[in-house]
Structure 1
Amino acid sequence: MKKTGFLLILFAFSFLLAISSYAAEPYRIGAIFAITGPAAWLGEPERNSVRMLQEEINAQGGINGHPLDLVIEDTVGEETRAVLAVNKLINKDNVLAIVGPSRSGTTMAVIPIVEKAEVPLISCASAQEIVNPVKKWVFKTAQNDSDGVVKIYEKMKEMNLSRVAILSSTDGYGMEGRKHLNRFASEMGITVVADETYGPKDTDMTAQLTKIKGTDAQALVNWSIVPGQTTVIKNRRQLGMTIQLFQSPGFGNIKYAQAAGDSAEGLLFPALRLLMVDSLPKDHPQKAILTKYKKDYEAKFKSDVTTFGGHAYDALNLVIAALKAVGPDRAKIRDHIENTKNFVGTGGIFNYSPIDHVGLHKDALEMYTVKNGAFVPVQ
């Protein structure tokens, strides 16, 4: 009888040990993405990526024994919804940090809120204005749009193209890109011969492209993330335009190329190395994480990996690393992220500092083209 009692006590003790890792209070993180709406090709893979990472972390026992709890909100790509979502995450859900938003405009809309509440936010958008000037509580994982502009103009110079037409959307991402396209043109010996815009919900850019066709432009740069960038590609073909087309890094989802069909063949755009992981040398510092992320994502969701999902994956990994190091303290999480060095992510090797809240530079980008409906790195 004594032996039986001892065994029962031992079993109960073992059971308590087994569940102790999840007896700890969860670490709650907020995430806001454009899961539906015109920017869903950004937000859906971002949502998928953080969910996948959450499942992986919790299957391994959580963060220092604490389950990772994600509260995900859909902004539909709209500023008003983003503001409502962030207020909810901070005031109701009491999150320790926020990952997202997907778009530059929605990020700019919520910056005053997180700054006042002193909650770390890691945006997945690329507008340089998000972190320049530096905001104490705001970081991002997408490359600066100005770096993409420089990569495009460097390629144009290499191709002996000096006259460019600019076409951009009037949302936050498009306006920031347009600003940098105009700014760097004069610095890099490029002449802007046309500068046209279109609304995020526009469905026909024939009028703008007809004006551009009447100029002596040697190249066209389209800067947007909305589905309109696919419309531009199709309208260009319909008008018989043959000048070289460049797209922004916002083209880094193969669905855009697939939607444009044959019209996308030969266009050029800068993007992160995730799109060329199979051709990276084995000793490249990003090879392991890019291979793992691509393999895990495509196996789970039966869909091609995108650089946008990678932005969210990196952002949540940065928060997880901070939680492991300093625990559930917003100020300490912020400080840890700001002092992160040599953090290998899908977007590049991040080096943050008090004067640099993006941590990436131009060398994180490669040039790609569309060939036979696929993204191919340009040698």
Structure 2
Amino acid sequence: MRFIRKCRLVLQAAALLCAVVFAANPAAGADSGKNPMKIGGIFSVTGPASFLGDPEKKSMELAIEEINAAGGVDGRMLEAVIYDTEGDPSKAVMAAGKLINKDQVTAIVGPSRTPTTLAVVPMVERAGLPFVSCAAGNKIVEPIKPWVFKTAQSDIQAVASIYAHLEKQGIDRIGTLTVANSFGESGREQLIEQAGDFGITVVRSESFGAGDTDMTSQLTKIRQEKPGAIICWGTNPGPAVVAKNVEQLGLDIPLYQSHGVASPKFIELAGDSAEGILLPTGKILVADLLPDDDPQKQVLTDYIDAYENKYDETVSGFGGYAYDAVYLLARAMAGTGGDKAKIRENLENIREHVGISGVFSFSQTDHNGLDPSAFVMVRITDGKWQLVK
């Protein structure tokens, strides 16, 4: 926490004079004779998943700018080398190959999506390279892979948050609609596995393709089973289509979405159909509504201010995944001289790191490091996020 605070205080004093585009300036504030330590970034900067990758790229640059303005890591600057995957697993593999073999990075942040992450994991494992994913799927870190960590909140915790809210509402019959990729499969597994713990019955389970433009057939089948609520699990644009189809069919039951749509883009895509939708999300969307004693509130406020002042756009929780990853790596790099094995070991021993996505405490058996406090439930009301007590 002191490390983060130091970086931010120095940044404010410097008035954001150190600009980073794709690479941090190696001469800013440190011994120019020391080579910078390179951190690779692989994000869906363009394409259908750009709502994930664009803020992640920008947040990585922002974090490196802050750290370098504070003197870098042990007096060495950090340098970002970023490639756009367009959300394509094959392009993610090519980008990872460049980072490992050509750019010789010390660590990699990203990719943005679960499928692209899983495609890259074998490469970083073979290379023995610290790797911090910005994707959410449980399979990224379960079972544990020594070199692989992630900052996005877990599907396990997201499902538990939704089910706890359903339990409070007395709803015990649900229908599920999940995207047919690794993120959706992970969510579906948790929805089924945890249902019994909350006395919930999944009366119908349907799926949809990531590029599908109409889900009325699946929703009609779910409606026939008379559930008390529907849970959709996916990332844009599919969940926004589901929201519109639910309204078109006149389904007057609660619709829950996953944390995969926790960004302004979902509200933009769903329009008026987003009204009343509930979902679990990191605290960033409701930072101003948090109590002052919440350990994340100041960190969130500082990040939001810095991001929105720099880029003149609304912040999203997805960017926070990359921002957390860079700060966690910077903390792990200290005192290692860039030794990858030592960085990996330090990452695994980080405790009580207050970040954007939660308070991280990694261990040999937990490479996500977050507990249920990383999530809050929100409802979309009048196009805005409202904290559900």
Which TM-score band applies after superposition, normalised by the shorter structure? over 0.9
Q: Is the 8 A contact 2:107 2:131 kept in 1?
A: yes
The residue number in structure 2 matching 1:100 is: 110
Q: CA deviation at 1:184?
A: 1.0
Question: Which segments of 5 or more consecutive residues in structure 1 lack a partner in the other structure?
Answer: 1-16
Give the secondary-structure state (helix, strand or coil) at the position aligned to 1:325.
coil
- How far apart in 2 are the matches of 1:267 and 1:18? 46
Q: How does 1:117-196 map to 2 (within 5 A)?
A: 117-196=127-206
Give the secondary-structure state (helix, strand or coil) at the position aligned to 2:335.
helix
The residue number in structure 2 matching 1:376 is: 386
Q: CA deviation at 1:301?
A: 1.4
Q: Deviations over 1:189-231 (max 9, x none)?
A: 1111111111111111121112222221110000001311111
Q: Deviations over 1:22-45 (max 9, x none)?
A: 231011010101111111111111
The residue number in structure 1 matching 2:13 is: none
Q: Is the 8 A contact 1:21 1:62 kept in 2?
A: no
Correspondent of 2:282 among 272, 276, 289: 272
Q: CA deviation at 1:72?
A: 0.5
| Larger-Rg structure | 1
Give the secondary-structure state (helix, strand or coil) at the position aligned to 1:28.
strand
Q: Is the 8 A contact 2:236 2:266 kept in 1?
A: no
Q: How does 1:276-315 map to 2 (within 5 A)?
A: 276-315=286-325
Q: CA deviation at 1:327?
A: 2.5
Correspondent of 2:120 among 110, 118, 123: 110
The residue number in structure 1 matching 2:224 is: 214
Correspondent of 2:75 among 57, 65, 87: 65
Q: Deviations over 1:302-360 (max 9, x none)?
A: 22111110011000101111222323111011000000011110111110011110100
Give the secondary-structure state (helix, strand or coil) at the position aligned to 2:112.
coil
Q: Is the 8 A contact 1:21 1:61 kept in 2?
A: no
Moved more, 209-218 or 138-147: 209-218
Counterpart amino acid of 1:253?
A: S
The residue number in structure 2 matching 1:242 is: 252
The residue number in structure 1 matching 2:9 is: none
Counterpart amino acid of 2:34?
A: A
Moved more, 39-48 or 178-187: 178-187
Q: Is the 8 A contact 1:22 1:65 kept in 2?
A: no
Moved more, 161-170 or 276-285: 276-285
The residue number in structure 2 matching 1:53 is: 63
Give the secondary-structure state (helix, strand or coil) at the position aligned to 2:67.
helix
Q: Is the 8 A contact 2:276 2:381 kept in 1?
A: yes
Moved more, 20-29 or 31-40: 20-29
Moved more, 280-289 or 29-38: 280-289
Q: CA deviation at 1:18?
A: 9.3
Give the secondary-structure state (helix, strand or coil) at the position aligned to 1:77.
coil
The residue number in structure 2 matching 1:343 is: 353
Q: Is the 8 A contact 1:254 1:375 kept in 2?
A: no
Q: Deviations over 1:239-297 (max 9, x none)?
A: 11111000001121022012211111111100111112112222321122111001111
Q: Is the 8 A contact 1:327 1:333 kept in 2?
A: no
- How far apart in 1 are the matches of 2:28 and 2:374? 43
Give the secondary-structure state (helix, strand or coil) at the position aligned to 1:326.
coil
Identity of aligned residues (%): 46
Give the secondary-structure state (helix, strand or coil) at the position aligned to 2:338.
coil
TM-score by length of 2: 0.91
Q: CA deviation at 1:54?
A: 1.8
- How far apart in 2 are the matches of 1:306 and 1:38? 16
- How far apart in 1 are the matches of 2:358 and 2:294? 11
The residue number in structure 2 matching 1:33 is: 43
Q: Is the 8 A contact 1:22 1:61 kept in 2?
A: no
Give the secondary-structure state (helix, strand or coil) at the position aligned to 1:290.
helix
Counterpart amino acid of 1:64?
A: D
The residue number in structure 2 matching 1:320 is: 330
Q: CA deviation at 1:20?
A: 5.8
How many corresponding residue pairs? 363
Query: Cα RMSD (Å) of the superposition?
Result: 1.4
Q: Is the 8 A contact 2:55 2:319 kept in 1?
A: yes
The residue number in structure 1 matching 2:97 is: 87
